Structure 1
Amino acid sequence: MTYRRNTLATLAPLAAAVMLALAPLASGAAAPAAAVPQVSPAPAHKALLALADQYYDAAARFEPINATENGDNRFDDQLGLSIAPAKRAQQFKLYRQFAARLKTIKRAQLDNGDRINYDILGYELNQLLAMEKFPEHLLPINQMDSVPVTLANYAGGEASQPIGTVKEYDAYLSRISQLPAWIDQAIANMREGMKQGITEPKAIMESGLPQFQKLVSATPESNIFYTPITKLPAAFADADKQRLTAAYRKTVGEQLMPALARLATFLEKEYVPACRTTTGLGALPNGAAWYQARVASATTTSLKPDEIHAIGLKEVARIQAQFEVLGPKLGYTGPASGLPVWVAAQPKFYPFKTEDEVQAVYRKLNDVLDTKLPLMFTLLPKAKLDLRLEPELSRATASDHYTAPAGDGSRPGVFWSVVNDPAKYGSTGMTTLFLHEGKPGHHFHIALMQELNLPNFRKYGGNNAFTEGWALYAETLGKEMGLFDDPAQYFGHLNDELLRATRLVVDTGMHAQGWTREQSIQYMHDTLGYDNSAKTETERYMAWPGQALGYKIGSLKIVELRQRAAKALGDKFSLPKFHAVVLGDGTLPLALLEEKVDRWIASQK
């Protein structure tokens, strides 16, 4: 369960940029001076905004799919070739130039808002440059995300890239016409990785292989990338219909089909057999430092893997203690650690026969929240939230997730539910899932951020600890709204919280402590009662080292700040105002968020 931007972008350099390091915070650079002018002098203000815009546009052109995923559709006709070593080197050179230019801007001449922009831009550039030495471009494909599968999921026109106008049809055609070059570069990179001993784990590539085989077709018309032509709007002029049909048939048949076949054959015959049998990132050359950099990116802290592992074990024990109380209410009398396994085996918690029955529950919950959330929030996004089913191609390996609205308001935010088999879709976790992926979780944060007056690099950016931490914190609000009065739904909430705690244990276990894939699967089965999903979850963490750490680390910080504010302010504490403080400036590194909340507490006193 995750915000789709983070899943797609985790391995991409732009995403590495927007997962921020804490080191600059430790220097005290983020603290505002006591006497700050409220209007920035024009030279410093204009120089900062110009630099920020140039930086964002450069990053978006380097990874245009990330821009699309984040709701910026200006680059939908571009694919980019960020995995090419020469382009990657040029981009890092450009980022060093941006960092040097930023240092020439006098921070003391900026107002509070611009200082936040200045600090975050500095962190992003620092984090980008910190990742330069790690050869992530040699790992361009895994089972969780890849450019070919992402573009295939766009083909229906219902995902982040709209395909409804002639211009949008041309943009998608332009983008997929660039895919063969990306595929050939990816194959070259993977061959180089094989030489250097830098490959993905064999287990996750075996899981992902069917995705790429499904992209291969016998005819252009039966290929998924031809899908837009099967949905040509009747309103299009005949000339446009004929031109687009011919162009798609030619591009798919002559360029894409051979390239997709090359990729599937290479993966099956060469790459998968050569992949490593080890599990964690720590097994790769310089892997320990590589993982530590990922941890810093995902949490915006300086926490070490061993410290996070200990936090995870402590949280697992705390939540299991709550199972002691909850179990009897569900009819369970065994040991607390066995409650998830017991619930997972109860037929009554799997009531669905169709996808529509699953969606009906989410639609009803969406309506209920519309009546309850205004009591907790004064800061609400204008963008609507839509509820859709995950496309069939990616259902087998996808998790329920959220995608951002279009920046221009033309497309709503979307909660995607992944229903492979309705009969196996558990009902207990649905409320907490929707609070996380829908509202007030990702939708209230991501959609609102696009409506704030922020530079593009922040409007379409973020960091994992705040983004996922907020969404996990949002789940806890269900108890205050009475949504967990049903013991089964409260179990679902606790069990999902337990999942986030378990992630701290298994992610650090695999990547820093030598755990095997099988150890992680067994631990998740024993702790969470997971069966098939223990494999899927474990392989997700293998593909995205560190990504899953931001959830719990971020939510623990937000809960801590709320408790601090409530204790300090007493009767003056306002939950809607607290939420407005947390969300009102968009995504922040956790230390900047803490400073902001502390300033608010002081101002309320």
Structure 2
Amino acid sequence: MKHRIKLRAAGALTAALLLAFGPAAHAAPPAAHKATGKVAADVSAAESKKFLALADEYYDAIARFEPVYATDNGDNRFDDQIGLAIAPAERARQFARYRDYTRRLAAIDRHKLTHRDRINLDVLAFELKTLLSYEPYPGHLLPVSQMDSLPVTLANFASGEASQPLTTVKQYRAYLNRLTQLPAWIDQAIVNMREGMRTGVTQPKAIMVSALPQFRKLVSTTPEQSIYYTPVNRMPAGFAAADKASLGADYRAAVAKLQPALARLAAFIENEYIPACRTSTGFSDVPNGRAWYAVRVAESTTTNLTPEAIHEIGLKEVARIQAEFAKLGPQLGYDGPAAGLPVWVSQQPRFFPFKTEDEVQAVYRKLDGVLDEKLPAMFTLLPKAKLDLRLEPELSRDTASDHYTAPAADGSRPGVFWSVVTDPAKYGSTGMTTLFLHEGKPGHHFHIALMQELGLPNFRKFGGNTAFTEGWALYAETLGREMRLFDDPAQYFGHLNDELLRATRLVVDTGMHAKGWTRERTIQYMKDTLGYDAVARSETERYMAWPGQALAYKIGALKIMELRQRAQEALGEKFSLPAFHEQVLGDGTLPLRLLEAKIDGWIAQQRVP
């Protein structure tokens, strides 16, 4: 998936968790805090105001530091900036800010805050601890990969269909301003990569070979042929003639200045960087890579699980799912070994019925309507924002996966499920239901769109952590069984197969980055386990580019399923699935340990006679 969650959460505040999420967390406040007079109330209001001002200052510093990620997460206030977060001096200033916020946060008296603001404070403390844990590691020396680069992100914005809107003259000027800043970013990226070449902090060669075609595509011979010029060709008819002429001239000039920088970047990657990149696979092969990977694992999972423990969890989950395959195979007409079921399905023409992109989209539109009827029985907390269904822009189709992007905070743009259809004839039908439950609703849309409607501070509205975000979406897939969407054995296979991918990720990500697995061994394991060659390569290279990120999905989902089972066993007939879902989603994205403390408190409260 491609929506960007850059704010992180990891660490431990055990006493704070008990205070914020203990059994009485949702009960009425104690009498001592109920009516102690105007002075106490004023002190409490002042403390809340002090905290919320700090929280807003913190988020604005994050958004200004990486404004493109703010755009991706639905905050369009900084759409005219790209920032220079990869500049060492700016990076140092940002870490100094994090230390200052940590000091000021410690001075807040959390006992004087509301219940919701205690939660906000604990989440902010988690985030700051995690952000500061990255300070020793030079991530700015790895500014581009096949998965993530600012030039490609801005190119995808050029259509106006992604996170950056292009419907008004002001919005056109904002995007134009970003284009004028991009050459400086590119030159800084090249400086950084040269420093990485000198110090041994480079990307793996294999993923940069995969990335190179993207950067070549960005280079054009004339401004008018550039993807960044696309907005000029799509100007709304309602723009005044003078605005059209002015914007056309300014875009032409900006793109003309941008093209030499794009050419420099493509040439540098091809002629200098790729030859100097490391031939190893795992992150442990860069300086301090093992410790750096441990930080990434802690960020991704918001747990204290070690890579070794996660590897074992992955192996057990792979075995469990393959046992399900053994039961399911005969229902599909397959009588071979369970591990061979994915390969067999991939060879059956009946599971690849599409001839056009529109046929693919029609299936998703029908499923969207079915879910509109079924989901209200499972959820009392529903986002107001609509969900739109669109095709991935052509530039990024070769490397993108189907994904979701957040709605605009002001309601001007819906949430979007992007389907990536490079060749309709190769778009398998078996995984479509589980995919939409994950990327659409009730997965990312119910969670991320709702985040913007809960009245949370901006750092939470536009932030989050991957373990909750992806864990919720993977858990949402499992609800397909209860809605009888997997009664069709082919669709149930698709669900299990996607679940198998998430379990396999636990094995191969830790295998590569903590246990010395090579790219080739990883690809072979994925082929043997999953059965699809092309995905084995692209997924392996994704994990090489984003060490630890893929661990969040399964670890998060397993925790939410564990908490649901705990609640069902404890509450028996008193258990309500809509109420449980409201507890999981109702306070926004939480680190898993905070979520567990919250659910335990809710269970205790529900058990009180």
TM-score (norm 2): 0.96
Where do 1:165-564 residues align within 5 Å?
Answer: 165-253=168-256, 255-564=257-566
- Partner in structure 2 of residue 132 of structure 1: 135
- Partner in structure 1 of residue 38 of structure 2: none
Aligned equivalents of 1:561, 1:74: Cα separation in 2: 37
**What SS does the corresponding residue of 1:143 show, helix, strand or coil?**
coil
One-letter identity of the residue aligned with 1:553: I
**Shift of the alpha carbon at 1:531?**
1.1
Q: Deviations over 1:249-289 (max 9, x none)?
A: 01101x11111001011011100111100001111110000
Aligned equivalents of 1:233, 1:385: Cα separation in 2: 23
Tell me the matched-pair count: 593
Aligned equivalents of 1:92, 1:29: Cα separation in 2: 29
Contact kept, 8 Å, 2:439 with 2:445, in 1: the verdict is yes
Q: Deviations over 1:193-233 (max 9, x none)?
A: 00001100000000010000000001000001000000112
**Shift of the alpha carbon at 1:22?**
2.8
Aligned equivalents of 2:275, 2:110: Cα separation in 1: 53
Moved more, 416-425 or 37-46: 37-46
**What SS does the corresponding residue of 1:379 show, helix, strand or coil?**
coil
- Partner in structure 2 of residue 10 of structure 1: none
Aligned equivalents of 1:489, 1:89: Cα separation in 2: 50
Contact kept, 8 Å, 2:383 with 2:449, in 1: the verdict is yes
Aligned equivalents of 2:313, 2:19: Cα separation in 1: 27
One-letter identity of the residue aligned with 2:516: G
- Partner in structure 2 of residue 11 of structure 1: none
Q: Is it true that 1:603 corresponds to 2:592 in the alignment?
A: no
One-letter identity of the residue aligned with 2:267: T
Aligned equivalents of 2:484, 2:130: Cα separation in 1: 41
One-letter identity of the residue aligned with 1:61: R
- Partner in structure 2 of residue 72 of structure 1: 75
**What SS does the corresponding residue of 1:540 show, helix, strand or coil?**
helix
Moved more, 259-268 or 37-46: 37-46
**What SS does the corresponding residue of 1:410 show, helix, strand or coil?**
coil
One-letter identity of the residue aligned with 1:43: A
Q: Deviations over 1:433-473 (max 9, x none)?
A: 00000000000000001000100000000001000000000
Q: Deviations over 1:561-594 (max 9, x none)?
A: 1111111111111111110010000000111111
- Partner in structure 1 of residue 4 of structure 2: 5
Contact kept, 8 Å, 1:23 with 1:302, in 2: the verdict is no
Aligned equivalents of 1:316, 1:402: Cα separation in 2: 26
Moved more, 109-118 or 427-436: 109-118
Counterpart pick for 1:117 among 116, 120, 140: 120
Aligned equivalents of 2:357, 2:517: Cα separation in 1: 37
One-letter identity of the residue aligned with 1:522: Q
Aligned equivalents of 2:424, 2:19: Cα separation in 1: 49
Aligned equivalents of 2:549, 2:336: Cα separation in 1: 34
**What SS does the corresponding residue of 2:430 show, helix, strand or coil?**
coil
**What SS does the corresponding residue of 2:235 show, helix, strand or coil?**
coil
Where do 1:571-582 residues align within 5 Å?
Answer: 571-582=573-584
Contact kept, 8 Å, 1:25 with 1:591, in 2: the verdict is no
**What SS does the corresponding residue of 1:405 show, helix, strand or coil?**
coil
Provide runs of 4+ in structure 1 moved above 6 Å: none
One-letter identity of the residue aligned with 1:5: R
Contact kept, 8 Å, 1:30 with 1:119, in 2: the verdict is no
Contact kept, 8 Å, 2:509 with 2:548, in 1: the verdict is yes
**What SS does the corresponding residue of 1:514 show, helix, strand or coil?**
coil
Contact kept, 8 Å, 1:5 with 1:66, in 2: the verdict is yes
Give the % identical residues.
Answer: 72
Contact kept, 8 Å, 1:30 with 1:592, in 2: the verdict is no
**Shift of the alpha carbon at 1:341?**
1.1
- Partner in structure 2 of residue 565 of structure 1: 567
Q: Deviations over 1:93-115 (max 9, x none)?
A: 11111111111111122121111
**Shift of the alpha carbon at 1:32?**
5.0
One-letter identity of the residue aligned with 1:273: P
Aligned equivalents of 1:438, 1:187: Cα separation in 2: 37
Pair 1:26–1:265, CA change in 2 (3 A)? farther
**What SS does the corresponding residue of 1:46 show, helix, strand or coil?**
helix
Moved more, 303-312 or 566-575: 566-575
Contact kept, 8 Å, 1:201 with 1:275, in 2: the verdict is yes
Aligned equivalents of 1:362, 1:288: Cα separation in 2: 42
Contact kept, 8 Å, 2:16 with 2:122, in 1: the verdict is no
**Shift of the alpha carbon at 1:365?**
0.3
One-letter identity of the residue aligned with 1:24: L
TM-score (norm 1): 0.97
Moved more, 555-564 or 108-117: 108-117
**What SS does the corresponding residue of 1:41 show, helix, strand or coil?**
helix
Could you list the runs of 5+ residues in structure 2 that have no partner in the other structure? Answer: 35-40
**Shift of the alpha carbon at 1:19?**
2.2
Counterpart pick for 2:59 among 33, 56, 59: 56
Could you list the runs of 5+ residues in structure 1 that have no partner in the other structure? Answer: 7-14
Q: Deviations over 1:519-544 (max 9, x none)?
A: 11101100011111110000000000
**Shift of the alpha carbon at 1:347?**
1.2
Q: Deviations over 1:481-506 (max 9, x none)?
A: 01000000000000000000000000
Q: Is it true that 1:158 corresponds to 2:161 in the alignment?
A: yes
**Shift of the alpha carbon at 1:27?**
7.5
Pair 1:583–1:107, CA change in 2 (3 A)? same
Pair 1:552–1:30, CA change in 2 (3 A)? farther
**Shift of the alpha carbon at 1:30?**
5.8
One-letter identity of the residue aligned with 1:4: H
One-letter identity of the residue aligned with 2:597: E
Contact kept, 8 Å, 1:77 with 1:171, in 2: the verdict is yes
Aligned equivalents of 1:22, 1:50: Cα separation in 2: 23
Measured on the aligned residues, the alpha-carbon RMSD in Å equals 1.2
**Shift of the alpha carbon at 1:394?**
0.4
Q: Deviations over 1:398-437 (max 9, x none)?
A: 0100000000000000000001111111110000000000
